[in-house]
Structure 1
Amino acid sequence: MRVRNRHGDRIDPVPFLVTVGIAFTFALSFGPIYGLSYGLTLQASLTLSTLAFAVATAVAYRQLVRHAPPIDAGPLPPGPRVERLLYAGMGLGVLIVALTVPLL
């Protein structure tokens, strides 16, 4: 699979594919359940979950593919990389805890 950023450089597609896989898992496993519990029909719940997945995929593509740094930019400094990883982990943790809270 040849994926290129906005500069035309080839990039590694694995981070994008993993992010899209996680978005698919969360959107289409929890979305319909929460939609049904809030009184939506199954079709509406699936439609909203699919829309949420499509938005997450578009955001991931923009961040991880289109705006990937060019090859000649050199390695990214470790400080910002660790900070972004920490924030992403905290966000995923908050999402998991929020999804396990019982519905009222």
Structure 2
Amino acid sequence: SLTSNYAFKVPDSVNPKDYFYIDLSENANFYGITEANSVTMPNLLAPDNSIIATGKYDIDTNRIQYEFTDYVAEHDNVSGKISLPIFIDPEVVTNTSYQTITAS
């Protein structure tokens, strides 16, 4: 597996229930050869382990949605980092080749 690393800074204008997406290119996914339905995304956590945002993976769109919690309304200058494992999708990449993976 590979690891994708993200750093984030949440603007003070963000409210609870606001959200953002992380999209992967078609040649990669977040589950590899395991059952896609078993994928759980980690929450974005503050240094005190409070949940900043909850993550949900949509298999059909190959996208994670992170939805902000009340934490963003109660704190200023919210920021952090997260690392997510990613895998080459064996159903899309069927031969040995160099691959470029994008996440946005």
The TM-score, its normalising length taken from structure 1, stands at: 0.28
Which structure features the higher share of strand residues? 2
Which structure features the higher share of helix residues? 1
- Structure whose CA Rg is larger: 1
The TM-score, its normalising length taken from structure 2, stands at: 0.28
